Amino acid sequence: MKTIYFFLILGVLSCNMSGQTSVQESAPNELPTARQLRKVLQEKREILLVYSDGPMATQYQQLAQKMTGKNTYFSIRSIRAEQVSEADKKNSILFLMGSIDSNPVLAELLGQLPLNLSPQKILFADHQFSKKETLFRISAYPNPQNKQLPIYFMTGFDDVQIIQQIEQLYSKDWTSLFWSSWGYQVFEKGRCTLLGSFGQKDWTIDKKVHWDFGNPADTILQTEHFIFIGHQQGFSKKEVTNMAQTCEQTLGEIEVFCNKKVQLPKISFNLYSNTEEKGLMIFNTDQSNVSFVKQEVHSVVNEEFSNNFLQKENELILRNLLDKPAFWFLENGLSLYFTKHWQKEGYQYWAKKLFQSNNEMPLQELLNEQLYQEESHLVKACMSGAFVEFLIHKWGDKKFLENYNNWSPNEKEIQSLNQEWKSYMAQKAPVAARRKKPTLPYWQGFNFAHEGYQVYNGYISKEATRSLGELKDLGSTAIAVVPYTYMDQANEPNFLRLTNHAGSENDESVIHVIHAARKMGIQSLVKPQVWLGHGSWSGFVEMKTQEDWDRFFDYYYRWIRHYAMLSEIHEAEALSVGVEFGKATLGHEEEWKTIFRKLRGIYSGQLTYCANWGEEFEQVNFWKELDFIGLNCYYPLSNSNAPSQKDLQQAFDKILDKVEGIAKRFQKPIIFTEIGFRPVEGTWKNPHAQAGDRAFNEVHQRMCYEVVHQGLADKEWCRGILWWKWPSYLAYGKKNKKGFAPYDLEAEDVVKKWFSERSK
């Protein structure tokens, strides 16, 4: 039901500056729009990397070759600046790398680009930049030689700094070099100090999408080993002092354990008061992350993560004391071994919970480096901590440290250790549920859709919080939070990856929505979904062989296990184990029951599955395993072009008779986990379909909303409705008038009226 913008929205830029003719003034009227430029890159998929000449040419060439070899989506060609032809400049999508002194192509185009560069300074957006470490990046700007093609570049004063910044972006996510969400970015010492986008057509700075983080960070406290730096207001000296004491105490414990005390470089501990601004500054929205190269920690400290100090600095300390481990889980696990409040309860609690519910990772999987990289960071972390604790218990500190850098167990040792580890964990006292199963009021609300796909307008943003406030004002008591993963083919299993990009539906963004909704008195259903490319859909998933089915369910279980643990840690009221799988449920109910039962051992909230209307909903038989039945309801109401309200009501009543039969058969309440209608002509004919060329018609949408609310008014078996859908930023609804969101349409008034009456 959701269109995923798989490629991040590309910015297009402009600037008006004194001493420089504006792009808007000098450009012809036929300048392409931002949308058109983005489409060109998407369609051509060909990029020419133009790297600098001069002393650093070899390093640039090596970087270009690395980028060329990495790519599987783009056709990338690289060339030295001195070899670029006039035809290349006019007919290629260019990515220019280098300083103004070393890249003559960049120097040639400078007067027609949206900034004023010289060897000593950069002028842009009423700012002057002159520090050696300052870097400037432009994405998807009209090529001055051919304005129908986009041009990209990364430049600055120092080629070494430019190469390092490109390598940093490349190593983290190479796609972001080309699919940038931003039109312009200014970096200083790796930190983004200015970023934003430009208007869709006028090529001037869009003040609504412009951030200036140029104010110097505040050094709050220095200790023997740490420098604590606040990047926003709100950190008290007392709070930071307590944190510093914990860090110094833990560092001392690690040194004693390692029997080693070396001169450690001071660790720069960067503090942020919210994930949105952390993401805008460093393009990382993890609660906490480290840079081994720069000896830095970047952590969000706020009420969303209260009593949940991850102590990522332990990894830096261990790397300095012990160097790289034989297996990554050893460093991860030893870091947690010295962490008191990992995910609030500590790694021992979560590891024991996984073991006693048969959800653990065996040792063979911890040792599999490729699988370890793919697995849930929640699951693998607490498993690593638990196994490291076991090894220290079995071997003692000395032998553990002797094996830390060069351990190479054979298969017999692995099997033996795995059995001993299981016995060790079995001897630990069972852990109890952290909470009683929450009760659900009558749910009335929406699927809360992450529509922005950028930090400033997705789940993690202030815009999303404001949008939730609008839902509260409508009388909403519940939302569905919908993180996605990607599956390439409907009949070929692949590992389902957990998104972690700064502008995506990552864990921290889901946590933010759950937390913000709870503060407003709104409950959350975490509803992870699988999106398929190539025009496919989860209902088409159907493997060719039993072996492939086994792999599919294994991959799916690993993915949904992560969300069960995340939902339990942050106490979401309900979790959907699956959404609209159709062919993967009918005929495979035992596999799903196994997953349901295992997840019960992790998650103590309300459990459901969201079945697609029609065959799946009507025929699947696993509902007794769940707390309530989830129905994604897009049954057609009429084939007529002009049915009366009474006709539509009678049709919906017949649908409700069918739905009620399922509720009575399984003695389970039903929540409409999706139902929706676009504001288009004849929206009742095929509610889930794309708008196509149908004309905008909010009256038809309103009629269907009225029919649904009227039909459900007195149905005791129905315990709620979550309309599809409501955007994370409200401007999206205005830009997409034929989308499902009823924001600022007649249907919104219907929702408010019925929600208000239901709440009385």
Taking 90 as the threshold, does the pLDDT of residue 202 lie above it?
no
382 and 455 housed in the same domain: no
Helix axes 645-666, 698-712, angle to 10 degrees: 40
- Full residue range of the structural domain in which residue 411 is found: 324-432
Relative to beta strand 288-291, strand 296-300 is antiparallel
Question: pLDDT-derived band of residue 2, with 50, 70 and 90 as boundaries?
Answer: very low
630 within some domain: yes
394 and 520 housed in the same domain: no
Handedness of CA 701, 704, 706, 712 (dihedral sign): negative
**Comparing 62 with 173, which gets the higher pLDDT?**
62
185 and 175 housed in the same domain: yes
7 within some domain: no
The domain boundary, picked from 212, 230, 260, lies at: 212
Taking 50 as the threshold, does the pLDDT of residue 28 lie above it?
no
The domain boundary, picked from 382, 401, 432, lies at: 432
Please give the structure tokens belonging to residue 27. 């450009």
Task: Determine which of 109-123, 128-142, 423-437, 478-492 has the lowest per-residue pLDDT on average.
Answer: 109-123
Q: What b/e string do you get for 103-140 counting C-beta neighbours within 10 Å, with b at 16 or more?
A: bbbbbebbebbbbbbeeeebbbbeeebeeebbbbbbbb
* pLDDT tens digit sequence for 479-490: 999 999 999 999
Task: Determine which of 2-11, 288-297, 495-504, 716-725 has the lowest per-residue pLDDT on average.
Answer: 2-11
Question: pLDDT-derived band of residue 9, with 50, 70 and 90 as boundaries?
Answer: very low
What pLDDT does residue 25 have?
A: 32
SS3 track for 611-625: EECCHHHHHCCCHHH
- Euclidean distance between CA atoms 541 and 532, whole angstroms: 9
Question: pLDDT-derived band of residue 534, with 50, 70 and 90 as boundaries?
Answer: confident
- Can you name the residues that pair with 156 across neighbouring β-strands? 135
CATH of the domain at 665: 3.20.20.80
Nearest to 268 by CA among 294, 233, 244: 294
Which strands sit side by side in the sheet containing 116-117, from one edge to the other? 116-117, 122-124, 127-129
Question: pLDDT-derived band of residue 8, with 50, 70 and 90 as boundaries?
Answer: very low
What pLDDT does residue 355 have?
A: 97
Nearest to 51 by CA among 17, 79, 21, 89: 79
What pLDDT does residue 76 have?
A: 87
Whether residue 747 contacts residue 675, with contact meaning beta carbons closer than 8 Å, is answered with no
Whether residue 487 contacts residue 555, with contact meaning beta carbons closer than 8 Å, is answered with no
* pLDDT tens digit sequence for 687-712: 999 999 999 999 999 999 999 999 99
Taking 80 as the threshold, does the pLDDT of residue 173 lie above it?
no
What secondary structure does DSSP assign to 650-717, as a single string? HHHHHHHHHHHHHHHHHT--EEEEEE---SBTTTTSSTTS--TTPPB-HHHHHHHHHHHHHHHTT-TT
Measured CA distances, 71 to 63, 79, 167, 586 (Å): 13, 16, 14, 38
What pLDDT does residue 29 have?
A: 53
Greatest mean pLDDT among 25-34, 289-298, 624-633 lies in: 624-633
Question: pLDDT-derived band of residue 39, with 50, 70 and 90 as boundaries?
Answer: confident
What pLDDT does residue 37 have?
A: 82
Please give the structure tokens belonging to residue 209. 């999408």
332 and 463 housed in the same domain: no
Relative to beta strand 628-633, strand 116-117 is unpaired
Greatest mean pLDDT among 129-143, 270-284, 579-593 lies in: 579-593
The mean predicted confidence, pLDDT, of the chain is 90
Share of the chain above pLDDT 70, in %: 94
532 and 638 housed in the same domain: yes
Give the mean pLDDT of 222-248: 92
557 within some domain: yes
* pLDDT tens digit sequence for 152-161: 989 988 999 9
- Can you name the residues that pair with 446 across neighbouring β-strands? 479, 723
What pLDDT does residue 364 have?
A: 97
What pLDDT does residue 671 have?
A: 98
Question: pLDDT-derived band of residue 81, with 50, 70 and 90 as boundaries?
Answer: very high
Nearest to 18 by CA among 93, 144, 127: 127
Amino acid at 470: E
371 and 287 housed in the same domain: no
Give the mean pLDDT of 499-523: 95
Whether residue 86 contacts residue 132, with contact meaning beta carbons closer than 8 Å, is answered with no
The domain boundary, picked from 273, 303, 322, lies at: 322
Give the mean pLDDT of 132-159: 90
What pLDDT does residue 208 have?
A: 82
538 within some domain: yes
Question: pLDDT-derived band of residue 174, with 50, 70 and 90 as boundaries?
Answer: low
Taking 60 as the threshold, does the pLDDT of residue 748 lie above it?
yes
Question: pLDDT-derived band of residue 72, with 50, 70 and 90 as boundaries?
Answer: low
Residue carrying the six token digits 């510093």: 244
Taking 80 as the threshold, does the pLDDT of residue 120 lie above it?
no
Question: pLDDT-derived band of residue 659, with 50, 70 and 90 as boundaries?
Answer: very high
Question: pLDDT-derived band of residue 214, with 50, 70 and 90 as boundaries?
Answer: confident
601 within some domain: yes
Total structural domains in the chain? 4
- Euclidean distance between CA atoms 282 and 270, whole angstroms: 11
What pLDDT does residue 130 have?
A: 85
661 and 638 housed in the same domain: yes
What pLDDT does residue 398 have?
A: 96
CATH of the domain at 315: 3.40.30.160
Please give the structure tokens belonging to residue 199. 């208007």
Listed in sequence order, the DSSP H helices in 338-449 are: 347-356, 363-367, 369-374, 377-395, 397-403, 411-426
438 within some domain: no
Spatial CB neighbours of 746, under 8 Å, sequence gap ≥ 6: 698, 699, 701, 702
Spatial CB neighbours of 108, under 8 Å, sequence gap ≥ 6: none
**Comparing 74 with 741, which gets the higher pLDDT?**
741
580 within some domain: yes
- Euclidean distance between CA atoms 479 and 141, whole angstroms: 39
- Euclidean distance between CA atoms 87 and 77, whole angstroms: 14
272 and 132 housed in the same domain: no
- Euclidean distance between CA atoms 16 and 20, whole angstroms: 7
Spatial CB neighbours of 565, under 8 Å, sequence gap ≥ 6: 350, 376, 378, 379, 602, 603
Whether residue 97 contacts residue 154, with contact meaning beta carbons closer than 8 Å, is answered with yes
Residue carrying the six token digits 């309309």: 723
Give the mean pLDDT of 705-729: 97
121 and 258 housed in the same domain: no
Share of the chain above pLDDT 90, in %: 71
35 and 143 housed in the same domain: yes
463 and 598 housed in the same domain: yes
Give the mean pLDDT of 288-312: 93
Helix axes 57-70, 159-173, angle to 10 degrees: 10
13 within some domain: no
616 and 662 housed in the same domain: yes
